A = this chain, B = another copy of it.
């Protein structure tokens, strides 16, 4: 039995693989820079003797937000040159925190001459406490950031019988996923309300279903989540996995809508409003698939397939590994999972022009009232 929120089946792939294969996730984060700079402007002026405490919630191995964090540090250095800055990266206990720290200290893959963790006056930390709970003591957080993380649910409200994702669930299945997501969203916000210093901000970029019904991968000819389902089902049809394993291939995610994000704020009597959180900014953003753009530029379908598949393998693999019967030998499980993603890769290589994965995010800036 594992603890809630300490589930190996919802971990990003380790060893730095996640960020190495997530340039699209990095593009999203880079695109939030103006919102982040605006949010900081509102709070830097609030001088204090206490360290300026920054959190990246659901940071995986820290690679995709590294450039944004460097920018934040530069902005703060200019505004308050002598104030200590703490940078805390949070994720779940099955995250590869060792890869995170090696990256921050400049010793992952290649030596980094000026690692962020060794900047004077910058102090880096990690926490493995889920963002569904309070991570920092009351009123100690100066700025919170999160990207592509809060669509992960705190628990799996049942399996989705004939799809890998709530987006393709039956109405009944989807209702229970939505209920979990809505209750998680309130819990996430209430935890942040306790952590934030009054007057400071959160900037969130959450994967969503936008006003046009679009979501990650839905804009392509070959919808990413439907294609993933087809290839998973193909393994069941070929008796490579059992029907139980097929059903267990359920990703613990839900893409909220703008209405879902906004609801706790429009009701002045909601727990979130009463806790002092106010929504300052809300928008949606489509980030075009950088892998597909490279393919259109270079025209090499095989190279595209090899680069494209790892970008969702990084966050989906643990679900499918976890869906396999643990009594199968480890090598057999690894073989099945490799076969699964190789089949997807062959599919992409065979009709590269049909595959791309635009990311669709809901952006929010949230302030804790003074």
What residue of chain B has the Cβ atom nearest to residue A118's Cβ? B3
Asked if A107 and B137 sit within 8 Å, CB to CB, the answer is: no
Asked if B6 and A102 sit within 8 Å, CB to CB, the answer is: yes
Total interface residues in chain A, CB < 8 Å: 39
Q: How far is the CA of A134 from the CA of B120 in the complex (A)?
A: 9
Q: Mark A76-109, 1 if CB is under 8 A from B, else 0.
A: 0000000010101000011111101110111100
Q: How far is the CA of A135 from the CA of B105 in the complex (A)?
A: 13
Counting every copy of the chain, the complex holds 2
Q: How far is the CA of A115 from the CA of B20 in the complex (A)?
A: 33
Asked if A104 and B124 sit within 8 Å, CB to CB, the answer is: no
Q: Mark A127-160, 1 if CB is under 8 A from B, else 0.
A: 1110000111110100000000000000000000
Asked if B84 and A137 sit within 8 Å, CB to CB, the answer is: yes
Contact of A137 among B1, B86, B102, B105 (CB under 8 A): B86
Asked if B125 and A126 sit within 8 Å, CB to CB, the answer is: yes
Q: Does A51 contact B (CB under 8 A)?
A: yes
Q: How far is the CA of A1 from the CA of B115 in the complex (A)?
A: 14
Minimum Cβ distance to chain B for residue A180 (Å)? 20
What residue of chain B has the Cβ atom nearest to residue A134's Cβ? B123
What residue of chain B has the Cβ atom nearest to residue A8's Cβ? B107
* A-B CB contact pairs (8 Å), 20 listed: A3-B106, A3-B107, A3-B118, A51-B137, A84-B137, A86-B137, A93-B98, A94-B102, A95-B98, A96-B98, A97-B98, A97-B126, A98-B98, A102-B128, A105-B128, A123-B127, A124-B129, A125-B125, A125-B126, A126-B126
Q: Would you list the 5 A-B pairs with minimal beta carbon distance, nearest first?
A: A84-B137, A101-B128, A97-B97, A51-B137, A93-B105
